[in-house]
Chain A
Amino acid sequence: MKFELLGWKCEGLRCPDFNFEIDKSGNATATFLQMPNGTGKTTTLRLLKRSLYNHQFKSTEIDQYKAKLKKEYKDKGFFQAKYKIEGNIFYTQINFEFDKNNSYYTSSLSEKGGFHKGFQLPESLENIIDQELIDLLFVDLEIDVKPMFRNHQTGAQEAIRKFCKINLIDLLIKDFDDFKTKKRKENAPSGNISVQIDTEETRFNKIINKIEKLEKIKLDYKKYLNETEDEFNDGEKQLNDILESNTVSNKKRKDLELRRDEAKSNYNNLLKNNLEAIKNIGSYDGILRNEIDDFVKALDEMGLPEEEVRIFFKKILEKKLCICGEELDHNKKLIIKEAMESFISDEESRIIGRIKGTFDNITRIEKNDLDKFSTDIQKQYSEVSRLEENIELLEKKSLKDNVELSQKIKELKEERSLRKNFLENIINERWKAKDTEETDSLVSLHEQKLRVEKQLATLSGTRETEEKVIFLNNTLKSAMEKAMLEISIQITKECNKKIDKMFVKNPIYIRSIEKNIVLDGQLEGSTGQEARIGIIFLLTILERSSIEFPLIVDTPVKGMDNAAKRRTAQFISDLKSQFLCFVIDSDKPHFTDEFHKLTNGESNFITAFRRSNEFDNLILNQPKNLLESSHNGQVVYQYPFFKEFTEEEDGN
C-alpha cells in the first residue's frame, strides 16, 4: 500500500498563508523544505499530524494557531492537507473560527473537492491510521525520538508493537474478556446469589476504574519525566561544575561522600542480617520466643500438619469416585477444589510449615538478639543522616550564589524520583492478600480483577467459559511476549547493520530494545547520535511492516557533525518511501547539498518564507512558474534558490 502526502494549504493562521505542492516533477521521493525560524515549521508539522486523525482542539490550542500580528489577524482560518492513497486523492481540512474559539473538520474523498463536514479518511486507511501511528511517522526528533532512549519511557517498545501489529493481541484479549462478561451477565441468576453478584460487580467496577486512573497517571508521569529530563540534567551538570571548581570544598565533599557511602553499606548489611534473623524464627530469644512457642503448640492442637490436609484433598480429586461413593464430575471437583483453597492455600501452608520446622530445630540454632540488631541499625542510620546533612551544608555553602538553580534542581530531583519510583516500583508491586482496590499497584489490581472474575463466574455458573477465556488469553499473552522479544532482537540486529554503514568512525550500537533503545556501553548518546539512531530505528520498523508511508521529520540533522550529516544524506537517498524534512539554512552544508549531488537533483527543494521587502527582492528574477505567492507568504520551488537562500528575518 502506497500512501503519500501531496501538499497542503493554510490561510489565516499564525504561519504565513502558504500553498505547497510537494512533488511538482512527480517522481521524487525526498523533499527538503527550507523554512526560516519563525515561519511555522512546528505549527505545520503539528497540523499535518492533526489532519490525519480526529483531534479534539481545546480552546487554548485554537488560540495558539491564530495570527500573532494584529494586521494579519482574521476571524477564520484553515489548514488543508492533500494526500494520495493507492492513486486516489483525498483531502482533510481543519477549519478554525477564532472569533468563536471553535474548530471543525471537513473532508473530501475525491480529487475534485466537494467537502463534507466531519473527519473522514478513505476506507483503506481507516483501520490503519490512528494518532499513535501518525506520531511515529511525523516526527519531531527532539520531542518524539529522544524519549525512545530514556529508561523510564516505552516509546520504542510501543513503536514495535504498533508497526508489527502486536497491539492486535491486546484487542483480541479484550474481546474475549468482554465476551465472558456478556455470558456472565446473560446467566446471572436471581435471588440471594444475585445480591452477591451485585456486590462483586461493584468491586469489579471499582478495580477497573482504578486501573484506568493509574494508566492515565502512568502516561502523565512519563510525559513529565521526559519534559523535565533536559532541564534536570543540564541544571545538575551546571551545579556539579560549580561544586567541582572549588578545590578545597570539593575535596572535603568527596571525603564526606566516601564516608557516607561506607556508612550506608554498613547500614544495608545490618538490615540484611536483621532480615535473615527475622526469617529464622526458631532463633528468636526472650519473650518473642515464648509467644511463638505458644503459637506452634496451638497449631498442633488444631491438628494441623497442613500439607497432609492438602494431600488428602488432592488424592480425592484424582479419584473417579468420591469417598461417599458418588461419581466425581466436573462440578463436584470444583467444589472440592474451592474447599481446599478456602481451608489453607499452598503458600500459607508452606509458611506455617516453615515456622514449625525452624522451631523444631530450636536447640541447634544460634540465638539472635533482635533488640541488639535494632540498636545497631538505629546507630548506623544516625551516622548516615549526619554525614548526609554535612554534605548538604557544604554544598549549600558552595552554591550560595546559585540558590535559585540549586533549589529548582532539588525540587525536580525529588519530584522526578517520586514519579520514577511510582513507574518502576509502586505500580509493579506484587499482589498481597490484604490488598484492596485502593492499592496503587497495577499488578495487584489485575490479580484482584482475575479473582473477582473467577468468583463472578462461579456465582453465575459460567466457570467453564471463564476458564477457557483465561487459558486462551494466557496463551495469546505468552505468544505476544515471545514475539515481542524475537522481533526486538531482529530489529536490533537490522539497526546495527545500518549503523555499520552510517557510522563509519566510532559506531554506537544498540544493545537491546525492550522498553527503550539501550545503547551498547553508554547510557545515552549525543543529540546527533540519538537522532541518527532514532531515524534508523523508525526506518527499520517501517521497512519491516512493508508499508509505504511518508516519514516526515523536523530538523533531521540537528546536533550532527559534517560527516554525520553526509552519511545521513546517503542513508536517506536509499529510501523507497516518501521522505520529507524541514531544514533551516545551517542544515544545508554537507546535508542537502550532498543529497542533491547523490540524487542528481531528482528531489524537491522548496523554500518558504514570510514576505518582506528584503525577501521580495530575492525573487524578482525567479521564473513565475516556480513561485507561489500570497499576501504574506512566498513559496519558491527550485534548487539554486534553495541553495542560495541564507537570510533569516531578525526577531522571529
Chain B
Amino acid sequence: MNIDQVLIDKIKEEFKEKNQSEDLIQEVINLLAKKDKENMTLEEKNITLESILNKIKI
C-alpha cells in the first residue's frame, strides 16, 4: 500500500508553483514516505521538520 502517485505529483506541483527548491520538495516527500513506513523517534522527526522549515523561502 503506497502513497498514491497523484498525491506525490500534486505536492511537487504546489511547492514548485510557490518557487520552493527541489531539495525542499524531496525532503517533504521523503518525510511523508518515512511516516508511512516506520515509526520515527521524536528527535529524528524534529530534526527533519526543522530542516524543512529552514529551507522554506517566503
Contact = CB atoms under 8 A, between A and B. Distances in A.
A560 to B, nearest CB: 30
Interface string B1-36: 111101101110111001010000000100110011
A164 B38 CA distance: 17
A476 B31 CA distance: 13
B6 to A, nearest CB: 5
A479 B1 contact: no
Given A176-B49, A483-B6, A467 B36 contact: no
A523 interface: no
Contacts of B52: 472
A465 B53 contact: yes
A182 B45 CA distance: 13
B53 A472 contact: yes
Contacts of B56: 468, 471-472
A176 B48 CA distance: 10
Contact of A482 (B14, B18, B49): B14
Nearest to A490: B6
A482 B10 contact: yes
A324 interface: no
B10 A127 contact: no
Nearest to B14: A479
B39 interface: yes
B3 A467 contact: no
A128 interface: yes
Interface string A457-490: 0000000010111011001101110110011001
Given A468-B53, A468-B56, A483-B10, A164 B4 contact: yes
Interface stretch (A15-23, A146-154, A165-173, A550-558): A165-173
| Among B4, B9, B45, B52, residue most surrounded by chain A Cβ atoms (within 10 Å) | B4
A1 B37 CA distance: 13
A79 interface: no
B41 to A, nearest CB: 13
Interface string A537-568: 00000001111000000000000000000000
Given A471-B56, A472-B53, A482-B10, A175 B2 contact: no
A486 B32 contact: no
Contacts of A476: 11, 14, 28
Given A471-B58, A478-B14, A479-B14, A168 B32 contact: yes
Given A468-B56, A471-B56, A127 B4 contact: no
Closest 4 CB pairs of A and B: A164-B4, A547-B1, A483-B7, A483-B10
Given A476-B28, A479-B15, 16 more contacts: A1-B1, A165-B36, A166-B7, A171-B35, A172-B31, A176-B49, A179-B49, A465-B53, A469-B53, A471-B18, A472-B52, A472-B56, A476-B11, A479-B11, A490-B6, A545-B1
Interface of A: 1, 127-128, 163-166, 168-169, 171-172, 175-176, 179, 182, 465, 467-469, 471-472, 475-476, 478-480, 482-483, 486-487, 490, 544-547
